[in-house]
Structure 1
Amino acid sequence: MRYQFFLIGLTAVFVLFLQTTTVYAHKLLIEPVSPGKIKVVYEDGSFSTRTMVQVFDTERNEIESGHLDSEGYFYYDEERANLIVADDGIGHRTEWTVGEEVIVKSDPHRWLTVGMVVVVFVVVAAYFSYRTKKKRNM
């Protein structure tokens, strides 16, 4: 019986770690403000001045790059720009094609992943609780 809890917990951990998913703690977004001006923010509205922005022309040649200003904005040459890529250097990256409408999609599997993590924690907690109670009764 005691190994059954361990095997269930171990199986749940393997299931969680074998599937690859994108990090959803902070989704990085590019918000066009006006021609030649964008704001790069996370889902919660915060931003990082370390975020690097690269601007590419239609032939994918980099025409300019730089960091966000102290308010999260980046200014670019709207005449030559075609693609803008923002990368905060810690795993968040987003792209925006100039002129396209920005659509923010939520991940339908987000709550499933959160639920699975909670289940794993509950199984592990139940296993250790069971094991502790069993040792006390010996």
Structure 2
Amino acid sequence: MTLKQQLTDDMKAAMKGGDKHSLGVIRLVNAAIKQREVDERIELDDAAVLAVLEKMVKQRKDSVTQYAGAGREDLAQIERDEITVIERYLPEKLGEAEIVAAIEAAKAQTGASGPADIGKLMGVLKPQLAGKADMGEVSRLVKQSLG
């Protein structure tokens, strides 16, 4: 089952079950997916849907930071709840040890040895780890490894 189909099925289940919160978030996700499909005139595959979900989580985390900084804990909690629903559809995140192992394998594959090779190494790692790890964390670990 594709991720889009799973979202549609979960939306129907939320409607039948009366889960208004999940229903609202899933509708937001579906709208974001549909918007990207219309804008780019393509049919999104699972990898592209994961990218949309990652972007939505990142936007909400930024909002949580801003709301918390402004003392609006009520709004920050709403964003946290939305993150929880969206993360149901994301794959399990890799731990730091698994990311470091992937970096070492990519270093052996590309022959990367210094800071000048960061771009080459990230080019290999991004397709492998997209959706499975925070790319900011991966970048930090790559710089640490090559620096």
TM bracket, shorter-chain basis:
under 0.3
- Normalising by the residue count of structure 1, what TM-score does the alignment of the two structures yield? 0.22
Relative CO higher for 1 or 2, CA cutoff 8 Å, sep ≥ 6? Answer: 1
More strand by share: 1
Highest Rg: 1 or 2?
1
**Structure that is richer in helix per residue:** 2
